[in-house]
Structure 1
Amino acid sequence: MAYKIAVVGATGAVGREILKILAERNFPVSEAFALASPRSTGQSVSFGEKTVLKIRNLETFDFTGLDLALFSPGAAVSAIHAPRAAAQGCIVIDNTSQFRMDHDVPLVVPEVNPQALKRFRKRGIIANPNCSTIQMVVALKPLHDLARIRRVVVSTYQSVSGAGKEGMDELFNQTKGSFVNDLPTVEQFTKPIAFNVIPHIDKFMEDGATKEEWKMSVETRKILDPDIQVIATCVRVPVFVGHAEAVHVEFENPITVAEARAALGKAPGVNLFDKREDAGYITPLDAAGEDEVFISRLRKDPTVPHGLAFWCVSDNLRKGAALNAVQIAEELHRQGLLVRATA
């Protein structure tokens, strides 16, 4: 069976990546629509090697008759148009933060909690988690199944593509300017990002954490286990694509490095690359364009009774956004859930 689909926010980095991945993975599409804001109407985007789609106006688009819409237009836009699409009988996979903590909206990483998809009918919407959360829970899932996780301490090293094209442009312009003695223009970040690291992603909250750090905590509990405690420090680094994380995990039960290595080695979506030698680990540059979550530097954490530490890297535009959304669509298809609701 093939489906009528729409990609919303099709001119953005994630929207273009969704179209690319749908074509690469041969998702069964009978007809595709590319949607964006009125100012983008009439532009063209590629869907595979041979198909070009004309951008249509999201604000006036009728979702009646469509099976699936993959949204990535920004939270404020999704708040208006995702429920409208769902009300017209179209199943929505939303890549923004708008619905992630909605009790009636499943938050899904297919390698971790595909069973949660069965709950999407109440709202007709499925939420894609935050990029930094996705790669971490893919790594944590096999370990949690093995020894049950009690606490996670994570420090992230997040690329500027997490802030969109504007963030990437700012890094490029500041880097170029540094060689011709131009003072850096700061617009997308709070301080210069070129040759710097910034311990600040999203807004500050009353307890001193940023919203990005809060997201990692609450989303991990919603996806994996409500009893897991998570503290995160999220840092923006001068890398174009690819998020890295230093993860320290405390378990309720004993777990050895050998047991963890065996579990990670056969876990879906995980690539264990840990040679304990020069260059025997994965960096964001290595992970760019790849689908998997890479684990390196796996070792015992001797500071807690049952602890492990590891390095986790993934392409945030692919697995951290577009690929995970497409995998949700594939899982809906596999489970026989990709059936239109009655509008």
Structure 2
Amino acid sequence: MVDRFSVAKDPGGAAPAGGDALKSSTGYRIGIVNPLTLVGNEIKTILRDRSFPFAKVSLLDSTGKAAGALTEVDEEPAVVAAVSDDELEDLDLVFFCGPPSGNREWIDHYRDDRFVVIDVSQPSTIESGKLAVAGINLDAITGKDTLLISPHPVAIPIALILHQIQMLSAIELCTATVVQPASEFEQVGVEELAQQAISVLNVRSVTKEVFDRQLAFNLYPALERNEEFIVEQIRALTEPDAQFALLITQGTIFHAHTFSLFTKTRDDLSVDQIVSRLRENPAIVLPEGDQSFGTTDAAGKDEVLVAEVRRDPTIRGGFWVWAVCDNLRRSSALNAVLVAEKVLFGNSKVM
């Protein structure tokens, strides 16, 4: 497989991150392309909650459908504008969310208009950007990095888990089954699932505008097959020589991905070794005492919740990891904001 993605690596004596290209003395000028998407809206929320020192946040639309829409920024009214050169050249950093098809032509303006790109659109169409994940490789990101990709929300939790495990032993194989939520299809997907559930309970025909069949109380193979793309990102972030296999199932849940991973390492590791290493990453949480995790527990959480680590008694070096992660927070919006903080301020925060 050709490796499309590069990963930020330790630059040694590279210049520290900072606001060398700051366009305004009053503070950072930030753009969010397609802010009415679930991830775009979550980025707005996280910027506010983290007291991000912005002088301005521009809300831009690349779909041709949301320009003129009224929303808010930092609890103040704001209007979405159509993305343009005039808008972009005034910004220091731009988050690109939503459909990649409308974003690519504007991402290509980053050199001429001198702004940092953080691409959160999925699947990313950028071929020369660096994958960046808080908890894996933020230390290698500097202020000189101007084209950055926040990986697919399925790739980030898997890569975080494997990153910790490979500190103990080389990973030889990993297979993953992932159940994806309706929110991967934006708010219309969430609303259609809710409508379908009500219709099924009332023995009525179900609406099938977003999903091609009944999703409520059902499971089936995911409609959008991005497994190869996601595996390529995981491989770039973890162990390039390992064997990876991934299957995504469409789940009857509103938010959060559910992961069942089988991993085989070169050495025979104990559960205690693995759990101890996972706990060392602030982006990962394991249950304490009688605590237990399920898919609904992940909603609104900023960590990957690892519910169980279990050895496979039939395969040497083999074990299972069951985990959940909010698909809008840690594996999307929060990661993008943490990457932005590293580029602009030099912070390598994981939380």
Give the structure-1-normalised TM-score. 0.87
Q: Is the 8 A contact 1:244 1:314 kept in 2?
A: yes
* Structure 2 portions without partners, runs of 5+: 1-18, 20-26
Instruction: Give the corresponding residue for 2:156.
Output: 134
Instruction: Give the corresponding residue for 1:207.
Output: none
Q: Is the 8 A contact 1:251 1:306 kept in 2?
A: yes
- Secondary structure of 1:298's counterpart equals strand
Instruction: Give the corresponding residue for 1:33.
Output: 58
Say yes or no: does 1:44 pair with 2:70: yes
Instruction: Give the corresponding residue for 1:152.
Output: 174
**Which of 101, 108, 114 is the aligned partner of 2:132?**
108
Say yes or no: does 1:194 pair with 2:216: yes
How much has 1:200 moved relative to structure 2? 2.2
CA distance in structure 2 between the partners assigned to 1:137 and 1:87 by the alignment: 33
Q: Aligned in 2, Cα 1:231/1:38: closer, same or farther, shift over 3 Å? A: closer
How much has 1:309 moved relative to structure 2? 0.9
How much has 1:180 moved relative to structure 2? 2.8
**Which of 279, 295, 301 is the aligned partner of 1:265?**
279
- Secondary structure of 1:35's counterpart equals strand
User: Which segment drifts farther, 32-41 or 64-73?
Assistant: 32-41
CA deviation string 1:178-206 (max 9, x = no partner): 1332212323223210110012241xxxx
Aligned residue identity for 2:185: A
How much has 1:158 moved relative to structure 2? 1.1
CA distance in structure 1 between the partners assigned to 2:210 and 2:108 by the alignment: 30
Size of the alignment, in residue pairs?
Answer: 322
How much has 1:262 moved relative to structure 2? 0.9
CA deviation string 1:41-60 (max 9, x = no partner): 23222223x32322111146
Instruction: Give the corresponding residue for 2:141.
Output: 117
Q: Aligned in 2, Cα 1:59/1:181: closer, same or farther, shift over 3 Å? A: farther
Q: Is the 8 A contact 2:100 2:125 kept in 1?
A: no
Q: Is the 8 A contact 1:38 1:59 kept in 2?
A: no
CA deviation string 1:54-88 (max 9, x = no partner): 21111464311311000103110111111124431
> Structure 1 or 2: larger helix share?
1
Q: CA RMSD in A?
A: 2.2
Say yes or no: does 1:298 pair with 2:320: no
* Structure 1 portions without partners, runs of 5+: 203-210, 338-343
Say yes or no: does 1:63 pair with 2:85: no
Q: Is the 8 A contact 1:110 1:327 kept in 2?
A: yes
Q: Is the 8 A contact 2:104 2:126 kept in 1?
A: no
Aligned residue identity for 2:210: Q
Identity over aligned residues, as a percent? 25
**Which of 37, 43, 46 is the aligned partner of 1:12?**
37
How much has 1:146 moved relative to structure 2? 1.4
Q: Is the 8 A contact 2:143 2:346 kept in 1?
A: no
**Which of 233, 236, 240 is the aligned partner of 2:250?**
236
Give the structure-2-normalised TM-score. 0.85
Instruction: Give the corresponding residue for 2:203.
Output: 181
